[in-house]
Chain A
Amino acid sequence: MGERFHWPVPMWVVQYQLLGGHRRMGGVLAISTAVLVVGFAGFRRLLLDMPLATVAGGTLKTLAFLQCGGLVLGGCGAVHRAILRDFETRMLESHRLTPMSNIAVALGYLFGSTLQITSLFLLVTVFGVVLSLIASLRVDVWLTGSLLIASGAAALWSASVFVCTRLTKPPSPVGILVGLSILGNVGLVTVPGLGFLLCAYPVVLGCMMIQGVPGPTVPPAAVVGMLVVDAILTMFWLSCAAAKYRRPDLPALGAVRGLTLLTLWLVLGMIGLVAFRAVVGALGRSSGNPVQLDFQWAGTLVLSLVVMLWPIQGAVECYVLARRGTRLRGKADRVPAGVVAMLAAALIVGTSVLFGGDIWAQLPSATLSSAGAVMAWLLTGLAFLSAALFAYGVLLAAVSLLKSPKIAAGMVLALVWVVVPLADAAFAEAMRQYPHAFQLSVLFGMSPVGTLIALWMDVPAPQLGLGVAVQFALALTSVLMGHWALRRAFPGTPGSPSDPPTAPPPR
């Protein structure tokens, strides 16, 4: 019998009680209302010479920061505090003993621990509506902006529940969030899809809307699309958190969830590339900067290599645990890791060819001239396949033999994938002063990152075919070594005891 869903009412009630119950909530709301009213009255008094509408409009801009910062950072902090408290009081474990379903507990943290923050957000939203009316501004813009912030925040809270649900002390997601928001901002130009995956766009757009920052008109379909994306991400992270909560010893991002994340990333990556051009076009700037498009396309593909590692790593961990004799969650955890690696590569190439056609067809790369496109995609596919198999082999060996496999495997992958082409490029750059010496060597194409850059950014790396062949040889060697390591670590058949079992006591 599987788990049936029940609303996590007991979790919400106890979280509410832990937040102080009616008395505290009433007090917080009363004080906040007083602060808002007094604050506005203070502004009005200071700026008596200005019209009331202008003062109200200015106050709205200040409230935008409260809406945004309070909801995103405050909410993630509240989730962290609740899970940390339950971890320290061992209540997290106590919940695990109860028949509450995994998803109910995750939902309990998601909306229970953030009750106070949500109430404040609603209060500020109502206050914003009043101020919008006073300032004769469009109420629907304020409400849409707030809704976008709320949807982005919910997805980030959900991710926080996932980050905090673990066997060890939960880390604060606020720090991670700040790092990710910086990454999201960088991604806005370099890898546009990243902004969607990190929920940066809806929050930033919502903030811009409620602040009245002039920008391109966002069609309602785009707003709905962003809300849908956030809802999907909220459910996805919630499902990961639920899986991790019940079995913290198993990877949450196993074969199925890992491949789902990869699919989400690829789809959002393609949408990001299209949306970026549309936004740039709407702003009246040149949308056809080929260098930028080259960079964004290659960046999206290279980042896919990183996202691809999650499903492969999850599948490898499950594979090794199963070999050791550990009971897994179900069929989804038993998908062979090698198959997951090949599926991941196929997914990246398939999605890019099918859904990214409009984008890569615009690339001015010389490799795409007429017959070159087929060859470019063939080499790209082979590079992704060899990269996936190489990662599979390295992770298999690391997980089988090492205590900290992620660090070691990450270092090997970074060395082969990034350091090799980087070193080759650096050497070529250093030799630039000599005539005829500035050229990349075959070494550049021996890494999937080098191959992708050479193919899609028109970088003149020689003998890419040979480079990809070397990648394959490396991948096969890595797979063989991985299996050797697995056999070395777990020589017996799965589940065979190494000590004689203790006989059961008499009945």
Chain B
Amino acid sequence: MSAIVEADNVRVEFGPLVAVRDISLELLGGQLLGLVGPNGAGKTTLLRVLAGLLAPTRGLARVLGKPVLGEHELVRQHIGFAPDSPPAYEDVTIYQFLRFIAGAYRLDRATADERIDFWLEQLWLTDKRDTPIKNLSRGMRQRVTLARTFIPQPHIILLDEPLIGLDPAGRIQLRKILSMLREQGCAMIVSSHILSDLEEVATHIAIIEQGRILRWGKTESLQHQHEDRRTYRLAAIGMNSELATAVSAMEGTSEVVVDGNICTFDYLAGDEAAAGLLKTLVDRGVPVASFGVVKRTLEEAYLRSGVKQVD
């Protein structure tokens, strides 16, 4: 399966400032890459290069095997990009604006109307269909931008801070839409500061700092990447005060906390180490009801990654 979107040693310089440092990445259909990092890390610049809006100083971005930066209208047909500040004509209605976008993508009238109706409904904008865009709130405008991005049914969707301005229900709805598009085979890159939202939908995460990818990988593996110790959770039947003593007595355990018959503690990372620990506990007569690794949140993984915060 070939990559739908790829960056090949992309470097972007603005005078002496290097915004993106020789980044390479590939994304297949059905993958959603969450791009996280502090402000000024180069996330937006990278997205703009992949969208073909910015010429890299060096390197190449490709979509469906073709250079993004060129005269290939086919390529542009397949890219959907929603920038962080929503572009829109203020003096036209939502419907007029989306009709213009559909026309620009050469959709016939019936298809355009069908898709506009669908996305207005998905993004809870049906009631506002004939409202001038200048009368909309920030969150509403964000939804119009998302509708503008999705209407051409692009294969590659690049969203820059799409969750900003959306209310909690809107965020949940957008997560559902992103999951739906991912399942339909779209390749997506979403930059966001709201890591809990990304955690739910992203298949991959890239932590970007000072123009380079500091860490990357599948979302679950990244949460525990480069850790020599993990937190485990153990429930035992009929043991309360003795449980803490039993766990603390094991060599290598630390940070032992007992709450009723549930004990959390830190121990060596790795499946073999965990299996060995469990066997020893059972051998010592601890009545184990359940045993597992406590999943770290993406926020914790991000903070542990050593990213220098500039915010």
Enumerate chain A interface residues (CB-CB to B < 8 A).
1-4, 6, 9-11, 13-14, 17-18, 89-91, 93-102, 246-247, 249-250, 324-327, 329-330, 403, 495, 497-507
B58 touches A326 (CB 8 A): yes
Q: How many Å from the CB of A256 to the closest CB on chain B?
A: 15
B100 to chain A: which residues have CB within 8 Å?
Answer: 10, 13-14
Q: Per-position contact with A for B1-34: 1 when CB-CB < 8 Å, else 0?
A: 1000010010100010000011111111001010
Contact A14 B106 (CB under 8 A): no
Query: Within the complex, what minimum Cβ distance (angstroms) separates A303 from chain B?
Result: 33
The B contact surface, by secondary structure, is mixed
Could you list 7 examples of A-B contacts with CB < 8 Å? A3-B71, A99-B76, A99-B104, A100-B104, A247-B69, A325-B57, A325-B59
CB closest chain-A residue, reference B133: A89
Q: Is the CB of A503 within 8 A of B58?
A: no
A residues in contact with B31, CB < 8 Å: 507
Contact of B26 among A326, A500, A501, A504 (CB under 8 A): A504
Q: Tell me if A17 and B101 are in contact (CB < 8 A).
A: no
B294 CB–A CB distance under 8 Å? no
Q: Does B103 contact A (CB under 8 A)?
A: yes
Chain A residue contacts of B106, Cβ below 8 A: 6, 99
Complex: A504 Cα to B24 Cα, angstroms: 5
- Known A14-B92, A249-B55, A325-B57: A91·B87 in contact at CB below 8 Å: yes
Contact of A495 among B54, B58, B81, B90 (CB under 8 A): B58
Contacts of B243 in A (CB 8 A): none
**Residues of B close to A507: CB separation below 8 A:** 1, 26, 28, 31
* B217 on interface, CB distance cutoff 8 Å: yes
Q: Which of B19-72 contact A (CB under 8 A)?
A: 21-28, 31, 33, 51-60, 67, 69-72
B22 touches A326 (CB 8 A): no
Q: Is the CB of B83 closer than 8 A to any CB of chain A? A: yes
* List of A residues within 8 angstroms of B54 by Cβ: 249
Q: Judging by beta carbons under 8 Å apart, are B28 and A403 in contact?
A: no
Pick from A13, A89, A98, A502: contact of B25, CB under 8 Å:
A502
From B100, which residue of chain A is reached at the shortest CB distance?
A14
- B71 — which chain A residues lie within 8 A by C-beta? 2-3, 102, 246, 329-330
A-B contacts besides A497-B58, A502-B23, 10 pairs, CB < 8 Å: A17-B92, A89-B89, A94-B87, A97-B53, A247-B55, A249-B54, A327-B55, A497-B11, A502-B212, A505-B206
- Select one of B9, B60, B81, B96 contacting A14, CB under 8 A: B96
Query: Which of chain B's residues have a CB closer than 8 A to the CB of A504?
Result: 6, 24-26
- Judge if B190 is at the interface, Cβ distance under 8 Å: no
Number of A-B residue pairs at CB separation under 8 A: 141
Known: A93-B83, A497-B58, A500-B22. A99 touches B217 (CB 8 A): no
Question: Are B101 and A98 interface neighbours, CB within 8 A?
Answer: yes
**Chain B residues whose CB sits within 8 angstroms of the CB of A499 once the complex forms:** 11, 21-22, 212
Contact of B33 (CB < 8 Å), options: A495, A500, A505: A505
A499 to B19, alpha carbons, bound, how many Å? 13
Residues of B within 8 A of A94 (CB): 87, 101, 148
Question: How far does the alpha carbon of A507 sit from the alpha carbon of B25 in the complex, in Å?
Answer: 10
- Check if A89 sits within 8 Å of B206, measured CB to CB: no
Contact in complex: A506, B53 (CB < 8 Å): no
What residues of B have a CB within 8 angstroms of the CB of A98 in the complex? 76, 101, 104-105
How far in angstroms is the closest Cβ of chain A from B198? Answer: 14
A505 neighbours in B (Cβ, 8 Å):
25-27, 33, 204, 206, 216-217
Most buried by B among A11, A14, A246: A14
Q: Are A324 and B103 in contact (CB under 8 A)?
A: no
User: Across the interface, which residues of A come within 8 angstroms of B96, CB to CB?
Assistant: 14, 17
Per the bound structure, the CA–CA distance linking A100 and B102 in Å amounts to 11
Chain B residues positioned under 8 Å from A502 (CB to CB)? 21-25, 212-213, 216
Judged by a CB distance under 8 angstroms, whether B123 is at the interface is no
Give B276 Cβ to nearest chain A Cβ, in Å.
28
Chain A residues whose C-beta falls within 8 Å of the C-beta of B89 in the assembled complex: 14, 17-18, 89, 91
Residues on B with beta carbons closer than 8 Å to the beta carbon of A326:
55-58
Contact in complex: A91, B88 (CB < 8 Å): yes
Chain B residues with Cβ under 8 A from A93's Cβ? 53, 83, 87
Cα A347 to Cα B273 in complex, Å, equals 79
Decide yes or no: A501 and B15 within 8 Å by CB, A89-B90, A99-B77 being known contacts.
Answer: no
A246 to B55, CA, bound (A): 10
In the complex, the answer to whether A101 meets B73 with C-beta atoms within 8 Å is yes
How far apart are the CA atoms of A166 and B53 in the complex, in Å? Answer: 13
Give, as a whole number of angstroms, the nearest-CB distance from A197 to chain B.
29
B73 lies within 8 A of A3 (CB): yes
Nearest Cβ distance between residue B82 and chain A, in whole angstroms?
10
Point out the residues of chain B lying under 8 angstroms from A497, CB to CB: 9, 11, 22, 58-59
Q: Which of A13, A91, A324 sits near B57, CB closer than 8 Å?
A: A324
Q: How many Å from the CB of A111 to the closest CB on chain B?
A: 16
Cα distance, A14 to B96, chains bound together (Å)? 8
Q: How far is the CA of A456 from the CA of B206 in the complex (A)?
A: 68
A96 x B216 contact (CB < 8 A): no
* Bound CA span A504–B3, Å: 11
Distance in Å: Cβ of B22 to nearest Cβ of chain A = 4
Which of B31, B77, B106 counts the most A-chain CB atoms under 10 A from its CB? B106
Q: Which residues of A contact B6 (CB under 8 A)?
A: 504
Chain B residues closer than 8 Å to A403, beta-carbon distance: 15
Query: What CA separation (Å) do A471 and B151 show in the bound complex?
Result: 61
Q: Does B180 contact A (CB under 8 A)?
A: no
Report chain A residues within 8 Å CB of B33: 505
User: How far is it, in angstroms, between the C-alpha of A107 and the C-alpha of B118 when the chains are bound?
Assistant: 32
With a cutoff of 8 Å between Cβ atoms, the chain B residues found around residue A17 in the complex are 89, 91-92, 96
A18-B91 in contact given A97-B79, A327-B55, A497-B9 (Cβ < 8 Å): yes
In angstroms, Cα B56 to Cα A501, docked, is 14
Cβ-defined contact, A97 with B204, below 8 A: no
Bound complex: CA A502 to CA B211 (Å)? 10
Q: Which of A4, A10, A246, A505 has the most CB of B within 10 A?
A: A505
* A10 lies within 8 A of B73 (CB): no
